[in-house]
Amino acid sequence: MPPAAAVVVLCAASSAVADPKPLPVDIKPFKDKLIVLQDAQGGTYAVLYGDDKRVFFGANAKTLYEQVVIGGSRNGDAWSIDTWAPRIPEMRPAWIQFKEDRTYFKSCDGKDDAALTQLTGDRAKQIVDKAQFLTTALLYRPHLLARDDSGNYYYVDQVAKQYGGNGYRVWAGKKGAMKQLPLVNIASDTAGEVFSTKTGDLRLVRDNNETRSAASWIRGEKRTQLVSLDLDANSVLIFRQLGIYGFTGTLCDNL
């Protein structure tokens, strides 16, 4: 059992809460300003550039998911919009670019780049009128990642703030074979966090009193010390290699 000081508040786990789903986006305020683009594979992009920057993307023209915009730049008429792409190493962004030669380009750090063709007139209008515009498909955000000496990973994600921020999931296993563990209780206080599984025997503990956060995996009376891993530095591991997230709806989903 974890130290008593580490368990002050227990709350019902979120396993009974339905997974969040992307929500419809009202594009009426900027519908006529959207730039509609397509790549050679039929990927479709709707971009709003100005004081308000928004990017939507879909593998086809039927459903377009909003991207998380994290920056942008401009040089004369040329511009670019940076978006979160968690499968690109070292937290580098994806971006949509309008070049000085008046062509459009999508960058996925050189691995899934694409020249984009602008659609105009009736073709663009048909897509904007008929496509379903939805909020981001990145429904969960990383919360905690740790590993034991045998290569087993322990991972906790949390419902994105955009979708309420309430609800955690716990996963454990080898890369590519992670299993979700049903939660019963969650304890969170100044000493750290405890995620208790349905059986009550499996717990993931993060102790914030340590100089460097320490994680432990507890099964019955056995405690296994874990190595805590930086979430940003291990973004590719989390979103590609662990096998938890398939579809992310991002510009670089194919990485």
How many CB atoms neighbour CB 97 within 10 A?
17
Position 200 confidence tier, pLDDT thresholds 50, 70, 90? low
Instruction: Write the pLDDT tens digit of every residue in 40-50.
Output: 999 999 999 99
The mean-pLDDT minimum among 93-107, 152-166, 191-205 falls in: 191-205
Domain ranges in the chain? 4-19+139-241, 28-134
Q: What is the pLDDT of residue 9?
A: 38
Instruction: Write the pLDDT tens digit of every residue in 207-242.
Output: 666 555 788 999 888 889 999 999 999 999 999 999
User: What distance in Å separates the CA atoms of residue 84 and residue 209, rounded to the nearest whole number?
Assistant: 32
Position 4 confidence tier, pLDDT thresholds 50, 70, 90? very low
User: What distance in Å separates the CA atoms of residue 11 and residue 37, rounded to the nearest whole number?
Assistant: 47
Q: Above 60 in pLDDT, residue 5?
A: no
CA triple 214-218-224, angle to 5 deg: 60
Instruction: Report the side by side order of strands in the sheet with 179-181.
Output: 10-12, 183-189, 192-197, 202-207, 214-219, 222-228, 140-147, 153-159, 168-173, 179-181
Phi-psi region of 229 (alpha: psi -120 to 50; beta: other; left: phi over 0): beta
The mean-pLDDT minimum among 87-101, 116-130, 204-218 falls in: 204-218
